[in-house]
Amino acid sequence: MFRNPIRKLCTAAVAAAFAVAAAPALAKEPIKIGEINSYKAQPAFLEPYKKGMQLAIDQINASGGILGRQVELITRDDNANPGDAVRLAEELVSREKVDVLTGSFLSHIGLALTDFAKQKKVFFLAGEPLTDKIVWQNGNHYTFRLRPSTYMQVAMLMPEAAALKKKRWAIVYPNYEYGQSAAATFKELLKAAQPDAEIVAEQAPPLGKVDAGSVVQALADAKPDAIFNVLFGADLAKFVREGNTRGLFKGREVVSLLTGEPEYLDPLKDEAPNGWLVTGYPWYAINTPEHKAFLAAYKKAFNDHPRLGSIVGYSAIMSLAAGIKKAGSTDTEKLIAAFSGLTVDTPFGKISYRPEDHQSTMGGYVGRTKNEGGKGVMVDFRYIDGAKVLPSAAEVKKLRPAG
Amino acid sequence: MTARKPLLVASGLSKSFGGVKAVDGIDFTLAAGELLALIGPNGAGKSTTFNLVNGQLVADTGSIRFGGREMVGMKPRDIWRMGVGRTFQIAATFASLTVVENVQMALVSADDRLYSMWRRAADYRRSDALDLLDLVGMAGQADRPCSVLAYGDVKRVELAIALANQPKLLLMDEPTAGMAPRERNDLMALTKSLVVERGIAVLFTEHSMDVVFAYADRIIVLARGRLIAEGAPQTIRDHPDVQQVYFGSGKTFEKAAAAKGTA
Amino acid sequence: MDAVASFVAQLLNGLAGASSLFLVAAGLSLIFGVTRIVNFAHGSFYMVGIYAAYSAVAWIGEGPGYWAGLVLAAVAVGVLGALIEILLLRRIYHAPELFQLLATFALVLVIKDAALWLWGPEELLGPRAPGLRGSVPILGRQFPSYDLFLIVVGPLVLGLLWLLLTRTRFGTLVRAATQDREMVGALGVNQAWLFTAVFALGAMLAGLGGALQLPREPANLELDLATIGAAFVVVVVGGMGSIPGAYVAALLIAELKAICIWLGVVEIAGVSISFSKLTLVVEFLVMAVVLVVRPWGLMGRPQAPSRNAGAAEAPLRAPDRLAKAAIAAVVLALFALPALSSQSPYVVILTIDILVAVLFAASLHFIMGPGGMHSFGHAAYFGLGAYGAAILLRATGAPMEIALIAAPLIAAVGALVFGWFCVRLSGVYLAMLTLAFAQIAWAIVYQWDAFTGGSNGLTGVWPSAWFSDKRAYYALTLALVLAGVFVLRRILYAPFGYAMRAVRDSTLRADAIGIDVKRVQWVAFVIGGLVAGLAGALFAFSKGSISPETLHVAKSVDGLVMVLLGGVQTLAGPVVGATLFTWLHDSVARSTEYWRAMLGGIILILVLLFPQGVAGFVRQVVYGRREAKGGS
């Protein structure tokens, strides 16, 4: 049949070409990432987050995938209900046969999935939930977390807050775990940094239902020198407007968690406060090459600017890609081994996943807010590496029974 | 009035609502096998008196003794357990139960089996219930839902329910209200025969004077909370005070009854 | 001295808050008084009001047009209300009581997604009101001038409503309808248009309440549910249908909140108590206390016995051969399911959720249908069961088997205590007291970090080793759910079940045949709580973790939706409803982005097609003719 060598050669070449072309489609199944989040309940944060993930997936697949396989993202909406989230996790694992799980925004859902990962021995990368428990008290072998935790957010602000040398502090936080532990951490770190400081007022309004007028007045009546704020979202907008009207912020320093994130700063518009010390994401002014590249790609893909959620979504997928690449497989144990100490390039620069508590060293930007022509921005900011504010391995050992 | 020993003795009953005396010191007695009608113009205190006897209201003063036991202060359900059955002005049955189940419900309660959670209620003393329905001529409709019955039939079912715990006394609030004249007579004739057969005492209020004078053994008349007359139908018919208080002077019972009937 | 000034200033804050609360509550109260509709979508009207005001002001521009924008927004919401009444609610007034609640629940879902689609996910903070941007000094404090305006608006609207209700023919009709709605029909008034007008007016008031918040808070997608709860509390505390009552209640609650915030953290006998945290639940505490002391609210009157427009429930029949065969087939299929679905293991996982939902819905149906006690807080007993199991497992190390037995008992104890108070009430007041207790239980669980894990909940609640395989756990769940449903069914066919229905059909007659009405209701309530507790425990072990959501009002509402969807007047109703709802929820949420709107839309279609519920419809088709003929 193959008497003609040239013809034989041609046939072989065509066959080989077919084989190469067909290989990703036939021989190699795509790597499946299962993702669960409260999309409809938290759309302001999670729509940009989803776009960030999409951008990462597109970039990875355009450059040939991981381990020669394409990456497929399967997302699920948990309706902000941990019970639903666990069912969806089971669905992703059993029906969609995903290789890894990621996602979650609300802390209690993050914790439910953390425990699910441990029970079912599934790899889980918690993207956004802030509670310290995910990596410490409830931390386990199977779970890693990307975003800087509540503790880290507070710790990033602490040096500058203490440098204000204010004695009388008032605290306001939403009455659930995030607010409570942020307030507790703040008190603890403040006491350590500045033993003579005292808390003169403490308000804990229900999440999403702050009676801003009363709360602002109660804080003002305590005559604090400075205020530590943990409110965000609609609560923050109400608080800021009432505070501005009632002159609460006049002559007082305000230290505020997350307020510099565009998700929360943008909606304040002309109400945006001046001079608050905040953590956040000044996407318009970060000049590092890695961020510039990300910003350009994001704007090109979505014709919109990124929010912090975009960074988290993008970096979560990039982390998983880097981990799988390093492990050379999607096997759970190999992946866990690869993630310990894994270094990933993100728009915020290089981060790594600490072996001692599975927390990434992604940090955040700390700066002052400024109302620039009716629009809130962050100025005088600097990036604080998460590694610098995380407790040492020895301390973590005490916090993390799972080891 | 009667030689029989009274079953029910009410004495000195009073009840006020916000300072207004609805019932003001009335006394009456009722013997087994007797039909006593309680009449009076609107606002005379009939309903109040009636509800004092059935336990829905508690008298301010006075006493109601039933078979020698004081009933003032007792709850309606306990009064029922002493052997006092009731029918309502607007018939009240259990709409989602069948006719026979309505009667069975009363039997279950009479036997103290309300909290039985396992055996099937549908079989509970069904034949006894059917016998009771037979008495009131409703056995043929035993398995229909009570909600689809004609009003006259609902009244009959009520009567069967009231008979379920073999009462000594029946309290009937406007037993024929809302019924056609023909049905009224049928129901009252039935009641009368049951009463005579079983020696039950009946206290009833009634708007239809035809019914009152045809079936009551004795009548008491209330006006503005006071008892103004008592006696056999003929005595009441001729009683000048009753004529005066009840209708003013010009009208007769028959005219008034006719007017009621068309209203 | 300054403490006094500070206190008085807080009372002023409370006054401003009361006005906002009153506006939404007044509309809700009117709607309930006349139409007897429990309008879940009222908070959505409020939310649309503030969004519409934002857009109107953006379109008209600031300046005096601002106020026109606010009014325009309120009118637009009124029109929306009228349309909803005409196109939807009018078609289902003859359905069984409370069924309209299902339609308004679906509207909440649809309106929320519509708002997301129209206005986007970001909060929209409106501009300040022209002329009232700043503050005025009062008691040495800067008090927002807009709040002073609000303080006036509340009593002003109260006065206008009072004039409308007492000085106009429309008002006379509304008051008459609130007392006895059949009488209005008898008076020859076009009842349909009266209902439309009242619904539109109520919606407009909610829209106005929302629009007036534009200068105070950002329009956001959480406002609907945040508002509806508070509005219901105000209406009930004030007394359903009483407009002045609504104002008094709004004032009471707003002032109590202001005082709690004023108190802040207080040291009492060495224990520091955060009154600020109490604002999480203060309105429900007020409601519970008021209802226990005054069963019809502060200024309400006893509700006329609900003369339901819908058809009476058909008597219970023993299942015939067809029904028995159907039940047997379903049970067999359920036992065979793991073997049949070995290729798609998710079927088993989803079916566990469905089974748990079935048991929960059946327990709610038990007290709500045959028991006639509408519970808006049934999740409390589900949650008590779930937490009971979890805490027992974690704290004492008891195995799952023990926890599964103990958890329902814990829930039953909760039902025993709460039920004792609840059965003393009736109708919507009873429903709202169950809600108040459930919210109080929720708040305790949400706050008590050390014991319940607080808002994060508890993890590590996994089944014993031999049930850790999903198929084994499925078998366990199936057995217990079948047993639970069977026992409930058996009780309903027993004398006690008949007594429950007797008590529901006619309290008067039941009392007159020696039935202790309250005790029968109480026992039924406890049985319902016990079974809900079992469902909760099964849920906990199927998820491995639990959180306060298990006893949140949203869970209670899910239960109501399941029961109503399936049909409250049939025993199969909760089973069908729970299955349908859970399955729909799962598949719709997966398949489309705007799944809430889609789910709401599907429920609306089902509502219009099957006003007796799905199971009720099936029964009507299969047995309708026989029942119409009246039995055997």
Q: What is the pLDDT of residues C563-583, one digit of tens each?
A: 999 988 888 999 999 999 999
Confidence label for C174 from pLDDT (cuts 50, 70 and 90): confident
pLDDT of A177 > 80? The answer is: yes
As a whole number, mean pLDDT of residues A317-327 equals 96
Q: Is the torsion defined by CA of C439, C444, C446, C452 positive or negative? A: negative
Judge whether B165 and B126 are in contact, CB under 8 Å: no
* Residues spanned by the domain of B222: 1-78+207-263
- Best probe of the C interface among A39, A171, A175, by most C CBs < 10 A, is A175
Cβ neighbours of A198 (radius 10 Å): 11
Judge whether C498 and B105 are in contact, CB under 8 Å: yes
Cβ neighbours of C398 (radius 10 Å): 16
What's the mean per-residue pLDDT of chain A?
91
Confidence label for C311 from pLDDT (cuts 50, 70 and 90): low
Query: What is the CATH number for B258?
Result: 3.40.50.300
Q: Whose structure tokens read 């009410």?
A: B10
Contact call for A and C: 3+ CB–CB distances under 8 Å: yes
Whether the predicted model's global pTM rises above the 0.95 cut? no
CATH architecture of A151-286+365-389: 3-Layer(aba) Sandwich (3.40)
Instruction: Say how many domains are in chain B.
Output: 1
Amino acid, res. C316: L
C135 touches chain A (CB under 8 A): yes
Query: With an 8 Å Cβ cutoff, are C498 and B108 in contact?
Result: yes
pLDDT of C108 > 90? The answer is: yes
For residues C476 and A8, the model is more confident at C476
Chain C residues touching B54 at Cβ < 8 A: 512
Query: With an 8 Å Cβ cutoff, are A82 and C546 in contact?
Result: yes
Q: Is A287 helix (H, G, I), strand (E, B) or coil?
A: coil
Torsion of CA A382, A388, A389, A390, to 10 degrees: 140
Amino acid, res. C225: L
What's the mean per-residue pLDDT of chain B?
86
A165 touches chain C (CB under 8 A): no
Of C124, C264, C350, the CB nearest to A218: C264
CA A105 to chain centroid: 8
Q: How far is B125 from chain C (nearest CA, A)?
A: 12
Chain C residues touching B165 at Cβ < 8 A: 513-514
Query: With an 8 Å Cβ cutoff, are A217 and C446 in contact?
Result: no
Residue B171, C-beta contacts closer than 8 angstroms, at least 6 positions apart: B50, B53, B54, B84, B85, B86, B87, B202, B203, B204
Tokens of B209: 């004077």
Q: How far is C125 from chain A (nearest CA, A)?
A: 6
Tokens of C265: 């953290």
Answer whether residue B153 is part of any domain: no
- Residues linked to residue A253 through DSSP beta bridges, in sequence order: A226
What's the pLDDT at B248?
57
Q: Distance between CA atoms of A151 and A147, rounded to whole angstroms?
A: 11
CA C275 to chain centroid: 26
Q: Distance between CA atoms of C99 and C88, rounded to whole angstroms?
A: 12
Residue of B nearest to C499 (CA): B114
Asked if the domains at A31-149+288-362 and A151-286+365-389 fall in one CATH topology, the answer is: yes
Of A84, A176, A204, the CB nearest to C274: A204
What's the pLDDT at A295?
97
Query: With an 8 Å Cβ cutoff, are B143 and C499 in contact?
Result: no
**B218-223/B226-231 β-pairing:** antiparallel
Q: Distance between CA atoms of C519 and C528, rounded to whole angstroms?
A: 14
- Best probe of the C interface among B51, B88, B108, B166, by most C CBs < 10 A, is B108
Residue boundaries of the structural domains of chain A: 31-149+288-362, 151-286+365-389
| Cβ contacts from B onto C, under 8 A | 124
Amino acid, res. C59: W
pLDDT of C391 > 70? The answer is: yes
Answer whether residue B146 is part of any domain: no
Q: Distance between CA atoms of B101 and B124, rounded to whole angstroms?
A: 9
> Among C485, C586, C472, which residue's Cα sits nearest to residue C532?
C485
Query: Splitting chain B (263 residues) into consecutive groups of 10 residues, what average pLDDT does each group show?
Result: 74 90 91 91 86 91 92 91 89 91 95 93 94 92 91 91 92 87 87 89 88 91 89 86 64 47 38
If you ran DSSP here, which 8-state letter would residue A81 be given?
-
Of B97, B105, B148, the CB nearest to C630: B148
What's the pLDDT at C203?
96
Chain C residues touching B104 at Cβ < 8 A: 498
> Among B244, B185, B171, B177, which residue's Cα sits nearest to residue B213?
B185
pLDDT of C176 > 70? The answer is: yes
Kindly provide the b/e burial profile for residues C482-505, where b requires at least 16 CB atoms within 10 angstroms of the residue's own CB.
bebbebbbebbbbbbbbbbbbbbb
Helices (H), C423-467: 427-447, 449-452
Residue boundaries of the structural domains of chain C: 18-222, 346-553
What's the pLDDT at A85?
94
Confidence label for C192 from pLDDT (cuts 50, 70 and 90): confident
- Best probe of the B interface among C513, C625, C629, by most B CBs < 10 A, is C513
Choose the CATH number for A31-149+288-362 among 3.40.50.2300, 3.40.50.1370, 3.40.190.10, 1.20.1250.20: 3.40.50.2300
Chain C residues touching B85 at Cβ < 8 A: 512
Confidence label for A247 from pLDDT (cuts 50, 70 and 90): very high
Answer whether residue B52 is part of any domain: yes
What's the pLDDT at A3?
47
For A198, list phi and psi in degrees, rounded to 5.
-135, 155
Neighbours of chain C (3+ CB pairs under 8 A): A, B
Q: How far is B53 from chain C (nearest CA, A)?
A: 12
